[in-house]
Amino acid sequence: MKENKTSRRHFLTTAGVAGAAVITAPALLAGKPSYSFGKVSDAIRPFNLKYAPSIGCFETLSGTDDPLDNIRFIHDKGFRAVFDNGFSGRPKDKQDKIAAELNRLGMDFGPYVLYADFSVTSFVLNKPEVREMLAGKMKEATEIAKRTGFKLALVVPGRYDERLHPDYQRSNVIDNFKYCAEIAEPAGITLVMEPLNTLHDHPGLYLTQMPQAYQICDAVDSPSVKIIDDMYHQQITEGNLIPNIEACWDRIGSFHIGDNPGRNEPTTGEINYKNVFKYIHSRGYQGVLCMEHGHSIEGKEGETRVIEAYRECDAF
């Protein structure tokens, strides 16, 4: 029987692609690099954008767990911002020292977590105890802003209430943010609300999508209420990252970075961060992009890989 060369070539090509998928898929699902860019120069020049490692992101490479030494190391690697989700829980003297060091180095500070209770309904309710809680949080943010100059605070509006109609919940969320804005705006504080995914990490939360957050910001209509676009969460929830950034641009106050799947550094998942960063840079963005993700590799090698990944994705 005469061999059909076209069919054989098709089979071999298809088999090769399938084999590559078998090798690559487990790495992607684990959020680990499926390939290597090779060694990227350990340049100290500043990045094009203000990518912000968490304080302690490079403890192994820096050889210390001291926050101030870590900030200096981060600066030496070309980063011009840091973030610290747990900043409000640090002792006041530690907060003041961190603020002073960042000011000395000319570095920015990303949003710290002011309120993020995933276990309760809060913003979706019209109750005196909710307003009292929010007043206390606004007082805390105002005090931090006065001492440190840090005026970006992250807020998660809490859980969805299955016993209350969605339209009432939306009205309550808007009213509660208006109440917060009345306190935040005179103090120059910007509250950034964070939509989170419910499919993998946070089932039951109220705020999940960028258009939903935009609608709330539009209704509140205050410069003190904006959105933090966590691109890891939004890739899971709705994708369409760049078009949503474009549509929400005037309401975005900051970004969170993390690849999907795995929530590790860029290049470990499906998001084309090089193109995303290029778009954000093209808009003249001067704010912070918090590196809210893990390391795909442990130890010094993993921390080095994080720096290399950002150098690669920043080369647009």
pLDDT digits (tens, 9 = 90+) for 14-31: 334 334 433 344 445 556
pLDDT score recorded for residue 91: 98
Closest alpha carbon to 114 in 151, 160, 153, 156: 153
Say which CATH class 39-313 falls into: alpha beta
Distance CA 247, CA 232 (A): 18
Query: Tell me, what's the pLDDT at 37?
Result: 37
The reported pLDDT for the residue numbered 43 is 60
- 262, 269 contact by CB (below 8 A): yes
Percent of the chain with pLDDT over 90: 86
Parts of the chain with a pLDDT under 50: 1-27, 33-40
Tell me the residue type at 33. Answer: P
For 222, list phi and psi in degrees, rounded to 5.
Answer: -135, 140
pTM of the model: 0.88
Residues ≥6 apart with Cβ < 8 Å to 50: 79, 80, 81, 108, 286, 287, 288, 289
Q: Given this model, what pLDDT does residue 44 score?
A: 80
